[in-house]
Chains A and B, each alone.
Chain A
Amino acid sequence: MELFAVRNPGPMTTVQDLGRLAFLDRGVPLSGALDPFACRVANLLVGNPEDAAVLEITVMGPTIEVLTPADIALTGADMGMTINQAPIRAWRTVRANPGEVIRIPRAASGCRAYLAVTGGIDVPLMMGSRSTFVRAKIGGVQGRGLIKGDILHRRAGSLLTRPRELPDEWIPRYAREIALRAVPGPQDDAFREGIDAFFGASYEVTQQADRMGCRLRGPAVHRDGESPESIVTEPTMPGNVQVPADGQPIILLVEQTSGGYAKIATVITADLPNVAQAMPGNIVLFERVTLEDAHRLYREQQKHLQQIREHLKRVYGL
């Protein structure tokens, strides 16, 4: 059913879900919400499966006219959402009614917000996902970001009997100085001399930050003298910290499948949402952890999600 009329799309608003794994070996990147935690919680709040399609809103948000009643929840970056000019808090649901106008102005903290709606955004499932991948024009709304005049549909789903919210203490706070935990490798042996300096240095997030990668600026990472500038092209993972010839690191994200530069370290999965929320100008520090630490922190994050699921079920029922 017709849900939203887009009056103003914002600079980069796309439909995303949790991405597609099935065609990584054919050069189709993972895609999906850059901050999967915020995406999952937004869906849980409105009563959707966690992999329902949401809007991923980057830095500045859209202005949208509501066409059908729906419960909505905004999570991730705090963007100062209003409905008919009344401020609406993030990380909780609100009923949007036909004729109302939702405005999502601009991120005050964090970089990406996620808007979930009852039933999920209805776009065709393509290669197992609804996620937009703009470079290959697949998924989402005709394989592109939203434009003025788009009509978005939602899938069927039940409206809530009362609003739901995430307890305050569980709402992530996005700092301007971000510690990212990372495990060395896969090519840490090309940086034997430079790796200690890399883990001690601070880097600034540049404007060249998108879903493909987040380019940093700071002390050049020193590659060992005998190590070649490039490596034989190999598969990449979100979180890989790639070091090109100029020594300025790039954190690879979800729209890349392979690369030919050495990677000094890899940001742990539990910290990838913090990369998604980093704004140009923010400061990033890498902190070395072991693989065992990384897996323990991943389990803790999954346990936290489970705690959220159980809390919502207990307080609000199914």
Chain B
Amino acid sequence: MSGDRALLVEYGDGIDPVINEKVRAMTTLLKRNLPAGVEAVVPAYRSLSIIYDPLATTPGRLAEILHALEADSRAAEIAKAKVVPIPVCYGGEFGPDIGVVAEHTGLREDEIVVIHIAVDYPIYMIGFTPGFCYLGGLDRRLQMPRRKTPRTNLPAGSVGVAESQTGMYPVDSPGGWQIIGRTPLRLFAPARENPFLYEAGDRIRFVPIAEAEFRRLREKEWS
């Protein structure tokens, strides 16, 4: 229970791909056939927030529906996660911290890129700012501390690593991650018919591109 308008359901404790897959299955089933009175379904790492209209349903009724779906979630076919390719220009002016990462990890810059693009990262949840993904699966070899002094204004599209996480900044914002590249894509375009390229449960695949390609795509996306 999270107040009188949201039912918060937990499927385990901790950050874990199996627990998050369960959250994804339940989210999919709920959205396939949205129960009466449900206004929004918000998935997170290990929990699901179901926002409801107290005039139209009760938490008891929603709990019953969830129980029934739970049985389904084992039987029902949940589509495989969608893979979303995100082109990234690594290093140089777009990845100002790649040298620091190389120094800290003992890897060459090209090795950092190879390791970073080797995984399809599951989106465990989206929050903090519009389109900001909490991704799982960063290779241990790329794990390193945040910058001591956060930058006051990171350009939208910046791709970085910090501790066990990797991710992208969808809007210009302050941030303390080590920035290794930038995507030319508009990760948050409020006026576009679909303002976002992905949702929780999808997988992010970083694809390396050269600077010329970055500039071409950037021009196309942002003009």
Which residues 1-48 in B have Cβ within 8 Å of A in the complex? Answer: 1-6, 8, 13-15, 39-47
Residues of B close to A138: CB separation below 8 A: 130, 190
Residues of B close to A232: CB separation below 8 A: 13-15, 44-47
Fill in one digit per residue for B48-77: 1 if any A CB lies within 8 Å of its CB, else 0.
010100110011000000000000000000
Fill in one digit per residue for A28-45: 1 if any B CB lies within 8 Å of its CB, else 0.
100000000000000000
Q: Is A25 an interface residue (CB 8 A)?
A: yes
Q: Is A127 an interface residue (CB 8 A)?
A: yes
Chain A nearest CB from B103 CB (Å) reads 30
Q: Is A120 an interface residue (CB 8 A)?
A: no
Chain B nearest CB from A87 CB (Å) reads 39
Query: With A127-B195, A232-B15 in contact, do A266 and B4 touch (Cβ < 8 Å)?
Result: yes
Task: Find A25's partner among B41, B128, B195 (CB 8 Å cutoff).
Answer: B41
Q: Nearest chain-B residue to A270 (Cβ)? A: B4
Q: Nearest chain-A residue to B192 (Cβ)? A: A127
Residues of B close to A201: CB separation below 8 A: none
Residues of A close to B55: CB separation below 8 A: 298-299, 302
Chain-B contact segment, one of A6-14, A46-54, A217-225, A234-242? A234-242
Residues of B close to A237: CB separation below 8 A: 2-3, 5-6, 49, 51
Residues of B close to A235: CB separation below 8 A: 2, 6, 8, 42, 44, 47, 49, 127
Cα(A185)–Cα(B54), bound, Å: 17
Cα(A263)–Cα(B1), bound, Å: 11
A interface: dominant SS: mixed
Which residues 64-123 in B have Cβ within 8 Å of A in the complex? Answer: none
Which residues 128-169 in A have Cβ within 8 Å of B in the complex? Answer: 135-138
Cα(A258)–Cα(B125), bound, Å: 10
Residues of A close to B3: CB separation below 8 A: 183, 185, 237, 239-240, 266-269, 294
Q: Is B135 an interface residue (CB 8 A)?
A: no
Residues of B close to A127: CB separation below 8 A: 190, 195
Task: Please state if A269 and B4 are interface contacts (CB–CB under 8 Å).
Answer: yes
Task: Please state if B195 and A233 are interface contacts (CB–CB under 8 Å).
Answer: no
Instruction: Give the number of chain B interface residues (Cβ < 8 Å).
Output: 43
Which residues 204-248 in A have Cβ within 8 Å of B in the complex? Answer: 232-237, 239-240
Q: Nearest chain-A residue to B124 (Cβ)? A: A233
Q: Is A24 an interface residue (CB 8 A)?
A: yes
Task: Please state if B51 and A24 are interface contacts (CB–CB under 8 Å).
Answer: yes
Q: Is A108 an interface residue (CB 8 A)?
A: no
Cα(A298)–Cα(B53), bound, Å: 10
Residues of B close to A268: CB separation below 8 A: 3-4
Q: Nearest chain-B residue to A238 (Cβ)? A: B3
Cα(A232)–Cα(B8), bound, Å: 13
Q: Nearest chain-A residue to B195 (Cβ)? A: A127
Which residues 14-32 in A have Cβ within 8 Å of B in the complex? Answer: 21-28
Q: Nearest chain-A residue to B39 (Cβ)? A: A21
Task: Please state if B44 and A291 are interface contacts (CB–CB under 8 Å).
Answer: no
Residues of B close to A266: CB separation below 8 A: 1-4
Q: Is A313 an interface residue (CB 8 A)?
A: no
Chain A nearest CB from B154 CB (Å) reads 14
Task: Please state if A26 and B15 are interface contacts (CB–CB under 8 Å).
Answer: no
**6 A-B contacts, Cβ less than 8 Å apart?**
A24-B40, A233-B125, A234-B45, A235-B2, A266-B1, A291-B59
Known: A126-B190, A240-B3. 15 other contacts (CB 8 A): A22-B40, A23-B195, A24-B51, A26-B199, A126-B191, A127-B190, A185-B2, A186-B1, A186-B8, A232-B45, A232-B46, A263-B2, A266-B4, A268-B4, A294-B54
List residues of A whose CB falls within 8 A of some B CB: 21-28, 126-127, 135-138, 183, 185-186, 232-237, 239-240, 257-258, 263, 266-269, 291, 294-295, 298-299, 302
